[in-house]
Amino acid sequence: MMRATQEIFHALRAVIVGMGVVGLLSACTSEAEIELQQALPCPEVGILGGAENLTSFSGAGNDITDIALTAELERVVSRCEYDIGDGIIYVDIAIRGVAEVGPAATRREVTVPMFIALTEINSRVLRKDTFLLPLTFEGNQRTTSFIHTIEETKVPYVARIDGSAYEILVGFQLTPEELAYNKRDR
């Protein structure tokens, strides 16, 4: 009976020690994974050249008196987090800018079309999404500043292709006429 008890005790101790070793290994893996996530770079972010300014006209004219709205994107910043298990980089983006109502403005609340595009560095566009940015000019203010955040933009991740392979670009979604005006205005 004593021998059976000792064998059970040894078997139980082996199981407990084994569980402890597995726990330690999984803790080491978690720490290693955390270190890897912190060492991996975020995708570059920026404002697409030529799409950083918006001048919106009222009516058919494009004289200074016909300007309804001007807006400028000043800065974009980001932070990211890797989900290595699911192969995704989650990127949070903040866009800062200013807008001003022009002489032809008729409303104090406007929406401005914008885009966010995921590209391979200096290469092709992988995905592009458009959205409307609401702007409000309080009281008799002619200008307003804004910060718009976009959370958890998903970027693919595989072992040999990290965030440095991608660039996220933002800008105003310009009409052909607005783009032509920006090119003339430079």
Question: Which pLDDT belongs to residue 34?
Answer: 58
What value does the mean pLDDT take over residues 45-55? 95
Question: Which pLDDT belongs to residue 18?
Answer: 42
Bridge partners, 124 (sequence order): none
| pLDDT exceeds cutoff 50 at 121 | yes
Question: What does the DSSP assignment read for 19-83?
Answer: HHHHHHHHHHHHHHHHHHHHHSPPPEEEE-TT-SEEEEESSS--SGGGEEEEEEEEEEEEEEEEE
Bridge partners, 101 (sequence order): 69
Strands 88-101 and 125-136 come out as unpaired
Q: Give residue 183's pLDDT band: very low, low, confident or very high (50, 70, 90).
A: confident
Residues 35 and 103 in one domain: no
Residues 10 and 84 in one domain: no
Residues 51 and 123 in one domain: yes
Residues 178 and 98 in one domain: yes
Token reading at 175: 């009409």
| Residues spanned by the domain of 15 | 1-39
Are residues 69 and 112 in contact, defined by beta-carbon separation less than 8 angstroms? yes
Residues 16 and 91 in one domain: no
Are residues 114 and 132 in contact, defined by beta-carbon separation less than 8 angstroms? yes
Q: Residue 168 is part of a domain; what is its CATH number?
A: 2.60.40
Question: Which pLDDT belongs to residue 162?
Answer: 87
Residues 47 and 128 in one domain: yes
Residues 77 and 3 in one domain: no
What value does the mean pLDDT take over residues 38-43? 84
| pLDDT exceeds cutoff 70 at 11 | no
23 vs 74, more confident: 74
Are residues 93 and 168 in contact, defined by beta-carbon separation less than 8 angstroms? yes
Whole-number Å distance between alpha carbons of 182 and 186: 6
Residues 21 and 78 in one domain: no
Residues 101 and 152 in one domain: yes
Domain count within the chain: 2
Question: Which pLDDT belongs to residue 35?
Answer: 57
Question: Which pLDDT belongs to residue 58?
Answer: 87
Residues 56 and 130 in one domain: yes
| Cα atoms found within 13 Å of the Cα of residue 115, Cβ hemisphere only | 20
Residues 14 and 86 in one domain: no
Residues 100 and 122 in one domain: yes
pLDDT digits (tens, 9 = 90+) for 53-84: 999 988 777 888 899 999 999 999 999 999 98
